[in-house]
Amino acid sequence: MKTAQQLTGKVVVDAMGSDGAPHPEIDGSLAAARDFRIGIILVGQPERVEPELRRCGWRRQGDKGIEFVAAEEVIGMDEPVATAVRRKRRSSLRVGARLVADGRADGLVSAGNTGAAMATAKMVVGMLPGVDRPALAALVPT
């Protein structure tokens, strides 16, 4: 089993997912890139994410282990899943899932609309053979 210091790979973080977005996502991404030596791709609205990244000392792609990919739309917590998935094709969640599907990242993390995240993952990334449903991760104990 790999220790935290031996992790490798790249993870997409939906920078627009939480109620306080993008502050907690950026702070957590910077800490993960530093402490676990993994690459992070933040996906979100440039007008909200880039100023916050600059405040943290980020200057260009790859700086501090962070890349940034722009996404025009955000899926709200109260949006119906079907509407969000069908109509918001340029959302941070959908753009992030496409990065995973295209092999540019190994996984996706979002603090956003859970139903939309599950539906988007299943639709865009797809499922492993023999697996019918996407999985959720939780901290233990809850």
Q: How far apart are CA 96 and CA 107, in angstroms?
A: 9
Query: Collapsing DSSP states into helix, strand and coil, what is residue 116?
Result: helix
What would you measure as the largest C-alpha separation in the chain, in angstroms?
Answer: 45
CA angle 28, 9, 15 (to 5 degrees): 35
pLDDT tens for each residue of the chain, 142 residues long: 445 555 679 999 999 999 999 999 999 999 999 999 899 999 999 999 999 999 999 988 988 999 999 999 999 999 999 988 899 999 999 999 999 999 999 999 999 999 999 999 999 999 999 998 888 878 888 6
The predicted model scores a pTM of 0.90
Query: What six digits make up the tokens of 25?
Result: 């996502």
CATH of 4-125, one of 3.40.30.10, 2.60.120.260, 3.90.79.10, 3.40.718.10: 3.40.718.10
Q: Domain residue spans in the chain? A: 4-125
